[in-house]
Amino acid sequence: MVISSSSSSQEKYDVFLSFRGEDTRDGFTGYLYNALCQKHILTYKDDENLPKGHQISELKKAIEKSKICIIVFSTNFASSTWCLDEVVHILKCKKNIGNVIPIFYGIEPSIVRKQGESYAAAFAEHERFKDKMEKVQQWKDALKEVANLSGYDSENLRPEYKLIEKIVEDILLKLSKYVSTNDPFKRHLIGIEKPMEEIERLLCIATTDVRIIGLHGMGGIGKTTLAHAIFRKFYRHFESYCFLNDIREEYERYGIIHLREKLLFELFKDKTSLSMESIPIQDRCRRTKVLIVLDDLDSISQLNRLLPNVYEFGDGSRIIITTRDAQVLKSRADILYEVKRLNDFEALKLFCLHAFGQNSDLLGYEALSTSVAGYAHGNPLALEVLGSSLYSKSINEWESALDKLETDPDKDIQKVLKISYDGLGDKSIQDIFLDIACFFDGEVDRDYVESILHRTERSDATIAISVLIDKSLIIECQSRLSMHALLRQMG
């Protein structure tokens, strides 16, 4: 049987459980199922998911739509033709991607591999029906193959709860490495692999210390997207988790009390006690391993009011903060990570995805695509906005749009970038930003810029430039200053 790409690529379940119901449903398999569910691992178990009266074809579909298959071998497993058919189908679907995990519960792996003892008796019964001999051989071959895979023997890890903990840990690790080709969120994450790997190393999920990681960079550079990707990959590793979006905007609209209550409710799903001053809540936080993402913070006071220093979280907790202002992070974050722009190849790829869709046929648009993508200077938001605005447009419309961009920047892009400029507050720092945008092109030595600005009676130039760097409005590399092309247009 050949599994079609449409059915095999659309994963509906994280885990498919294959087991002999009479042996383990109300014991080991039931406990394992509950442990998986507690970690938010979407698990298919026939008595939970298969309506009565439905056929094995429904189970086969579930196998095809699962990322990982666990087979719980028990004493009477081989007596069920239904179970044996599942094993054959699991191997057809999953063996090439290495996501089949055998568990030998109360039975030695060699008995399954060689079909001895109770398995020999079960196959003797199956072989009574001569018309099934070919199928019986299929079953035997499948059992032998699965029994040779890396798995778990219940005799080697006791007590039972430790075995279940180890299996769940293994599943979490496999899922964190799993890449779904059918997830539209992941399909659009161009150029994210390297920063994801770097941040994963900084997070070091396996350690028990509590870490605060700060992601900073200019508006539209992909901080929130990156934080979302990390959150989606690792949230199952934590007892409680929360992603607070658009904190800057929510803070202005609803205030800090609303944000605090939202954070506590997302973590503990309890409306009865949403006060950070509550001793029981503080004790609960201290005992709980949490993953918290605070997205788009724009001041130290916001951070300190939302998560006071006196607040403690359980061992292994991780807090990720995204901001345009690195200064927000310096007093609280353990590690700062600057999110960089996309390289030229990645930028063109992301732009074309939005300008042409999945089937990126650039015929006749090659030079124009390169020019428009170059205008965005590696800023993902700008690439997405520009690509979407040119989708299905003619070459003449593209040329007209490109000419217009040189004199009249896209308003949606400028609106996002201007937030950082407005957030400066201090008029003198805003003026220095405009001076640099208007009069210093390309990379310029910092000392030279400061000396020119000091001559114009801007005595605060040194401090102002440091503020602009922190707020991702200018870039400093080896004592040389530069500015993103889109920000320069604001001058």
* Amino acid, single-letter form, for residue 251: Y
Which residues 6+ apart lie within 8 Å of 17 measured at CB? 29, 32, 33, 43, 44, 45, 46, 70, 72
Give start and end residues of each alpha helix (H) in 235-365. 247-254, 256-268, 279-287, 300-306, 327-330, 344-356
> How far does CA 448 lie from the centroid of its chain?
43
| Tokens describing residue 184 | 């539209």
Phi and psi dihedrals of 229, rounded to 5?
-65, -45
In whole angstroms, give the CA distance from residue 87 to residue 131.
20
Judge contact between 75 and 112, C-beta under 8 A. Answer: no
CA 211 – CA 247 distance, rounded (Å): 20
Q: In the sheet where 475-477 sits, what is the strand order?
A: 444-445, 480-482, 475-477
Amino acid making up residue 427: K
- Residues with a catalytic annotation lie at 86
126 and 81 in contact (C-beta within 8 Å)? Answer: yes
| CA separation, residue 32 to residues 35, 159, 475 (Å) | 5, 13, 52
Between CA 195 and CA 204, with CA 200 as vertex, the angle to 5 degrees is: 150
**Neighbouring C-alpha atoms within 13 Å toward the C-beta of 11:** 21
What is the distance in angstroms between the CA of the first residue and the CA of the last residue of the chain? 64
Residues constituting the chain: 491
Give dist(CA 310, CA 470) in Å, integer: 26
Which DSSP category does 218 fall into? Answer: S
Q: How far apart are CA 8 and CA 67, in angstroms?
A: 9
Distance of CA 129 to the CA centre of its chain: 51
Residue 426: Cβ within 10 Å count: 12
> Within a 13 Å sphere around the CA of 58, how many CA atoms are in the beta-carbon half?
12
Percentage helix, strand, coil, to 5, in the chain? 55, 10, 30
34 near 167, Cβ under 8 Å? no
Residue 175 exposed, middle or buried by CB count within 10 Å (0-12, 13-18, 19+): buried
